[in-house]
Amino acid sequence: MEGVIIGIESTAHTFSFGSVSTNGVLFPSQSSLFRPEEGGIHPREAADHHSDVTSELLNRVSNAEYFSWDSVVAIAFSQGPGLGPCLRVGASVARTLSTSLQVPLIGVNHCIAHIEVGRNQTGCDDPVLLYVSGGNTQVIARADGKYRVLGETLDIGIGNMLDKFARHNGIAFPGGPEVERLANNFTSEGWKSLDSVLLPYGVHGMDMAFSGILTSAIQRISDGHSLEEVCWSLQEHSFASCVEVAERALAHTGKNELLLGGGVACNERLREMSTIMCEERGSSCHWPEKQYCIDNGTMIAELGRRMLEAGISTELLDSAINPGLRTDNTSVIWH
C-alpha cells in the first residue's frame, strides 16, 4: 500500500496539518489562522490558539476521504525558523503522533519547505526562489549542497510591512490581500504616474529593507494621499525591489527559472512583475497554487517526503525546536 507523510506547520500565525503520498501527490491542508483582535501577533496568544484548535484539526484530517492512519509512514514538522511558543506546540503534537504511530519523526526547515512544494507543483528543477512571506523575505538558490541566501531583508519581512501598513489604516490581519484589492481599485481605470507618491526604494546590494518605506507610506496618508493610491505605490516600490534582487540572482547564478513562494506570492501584481522580468531575460517564472504559497502543512509533508527518501529522520533527542534556524543551516542531499 502507498504510504502518506503528515506535515505539521506552526511557525507563526497558522497551525496546519497536510499530507503527501510517498510518490509525491499533495493533499490539501487543514489549517487554522490566528487572527489577533487587535495589534500584531503575540507569540503566546498564537501558541494558545494552536493548542486550542489541535483536536479539531486532527479530526478534520482523520475524516478526510483519502486518509487512513494505517497508511502514515512518517510525521514531519516545522523545526524552525519561527516563534518559539508556536513551534513548540507543533513539535509536541509531532512527537506524540510519531511515538504513538511508531513512525519516524522528521524535523524540517520551514523556508526550504516553501521551495520544495513549489518544485513539486510547478515542475521547475533548479530555481532561484523569491521567498516573500510575513516574517521572511529572501532570495535563495541551491549551490554546493545548501540552499544559499543570496539576498534578504535587513529589517522586517515584506508581508509584515504590508500588514503593519494595513493595521495603521484600520485593516485587520492579514492586510496584504486588502492592500492588493485597494491597489487594483486605484489602477482599474488605467495606469497612473508614480511621481506624486514616490516612496523610498530599499535595495542595498543584494539585500532589501522595508521599514523606511513603511514609515514613508504612513506619512503619505497623513499628507492627504488616498489609501488606494498609497497601497498601489507601496506595492510598486516594494515588489520592484524584490524583483530587482531576484533578477540579479538569476544573472549571477546563471539559472533560468524563478519560483515565487510565501504568502505575498499570492499577489497577482508581484506575479506579473516577476513574469515580465523573466520574459525579458529568457527565463521562466513559476508559483504554486495559493493554498501552497501561504504557510501550510502540506509543504512540510513534501519536504519530509524528500528527506525520508534520502534516509533522513530526527531522533527524539534532536527534535528540539530551533527558532533561529537559517535557510542555509540545512544540508540538502535530496534531489
Residue 295 interacts with Mg ion (CB under 5 A)?
Answer: yes
Residue 288 engages ligand AMP in binding (rule: CB under 6 A): no
Which residues are paired to 20 by β-bridges? 5, 26
In the range 61-100, which residues lie near Mg ion by CB under 5 A? none
d(CA 151, CA 207): 5
* The three three-digit cell numbers of residue 260, written as one number: 515565487
On the 0-12 / 13-18 / 19+ scale of CB atoms within 10 A, 45 is middle
Q: Does 7 bind ligand AMP (CB under 6 A)?
A: no
175 in contact with ligand AMP (CB under 6 A): yes
Select 178 or 295, whichever has its Cβ closest to Mg ion.
Answer: 295
Q: Does 302 bind Mg ion (CB under 5 A)?
A: no
Q: Where are the alpha helices (DSSP H) in the chain?
A: 43-63, 84-101, 110-122, 158-168, 176-187, 211-222, 227-253, 268-280, 290-293, 297-309
Stretch that binds ligand AMP, among 46-54, 173-181, 203-211, 252-260 (CB under 6 A): 173-181
> What cell does 34 get?
490566528
- To ligand AMP, the closest distance from the beta carbon of 267 in angstroms equals 3
Q: Does 163 bind ligand AMP (CB under 6 A)?
A: yes
Of the pair 41, 91, the CB lying nearest ligand AMP is at: 41
Distance, first Cα to last Cα, the chain: 24
Q: Is 302 in the site for ligand AMP (CB under 6 A)?
A: no
Taking the least distance from each CB to ligand AMP, the nearer of 81 and 304 is: 81
Residues 6 or more apart in contact with residue 6 via CB below 8 angstroms: 17, 18, 19, 61, 72, 74, 75, 76, 97, 297, 301
Residues in contact with ligand AMP, counted by CB under 6 A, come to a total of: 18
234 binds ligand AMP (CB under 6 A): no
| Enclosing H/E stretch for 162 | helix 158-168
Q: Are 151 and 206 in contact (CB under 8 A)?
A: yes
109 binds Mg ion (CB under 5 A): no
Which element (helix H / strand E) includes 276? helix 268-280
Residue nearest to Mg ion (CB): 133
User: In the bound complex, what is the minimum distance in angstroms from residue 92's beta carbon to Mg ion?
Assistant: 20
Q: C-beta of 297: minimal distance to ligand AMP in Å? A: 12
From ligand AMP, Mg ion, none, which one binds at residue 294 (CB under 5 to 8 Å depending on kind)? ligand AMP
Q: Which residues pair with 105 in a beta bridge?
A: 75
- Return the number of other C-beta atoms located less than 10 Å from residue 279's C-beta: 11
- If contact means CB under 5 to 8 A according to the sort of partner, which of Mg ion, ligand AMP, none does residue 159 touch? ligand AMP
| Shortest spacing between CB 302 and Mg ion, in angstroms | 14
Rounded distance, CA 241 to CA 158, Å?
Answer: 10
What's the CA gap between 109 and 140, in Å, rounded? 14
Please answer whether residues 259 and 127 qualify as being in contact, where contact means their C-beta atoms are separated by less than 8 angstroms.
yes
175: cell is: 492586510
Nearer to ligand AMP, 11 or 19 (CB): 11
Among 111, 128, 294, 321, binds ligand AMP (CB under 6 A): 294
Q: Is there binding between residue 5 and ligand AMP (CB under 6 A)?
A: no
Residues at the contact surface with ligand AMP, assessed by CB under 6 A: 14, 133-134, 159, 162-163, 174-177, 180, 262-264, 266-267, 294-295
Residues at the contact surface with Mg ion, assessed by CB under 5 A: 133, 295
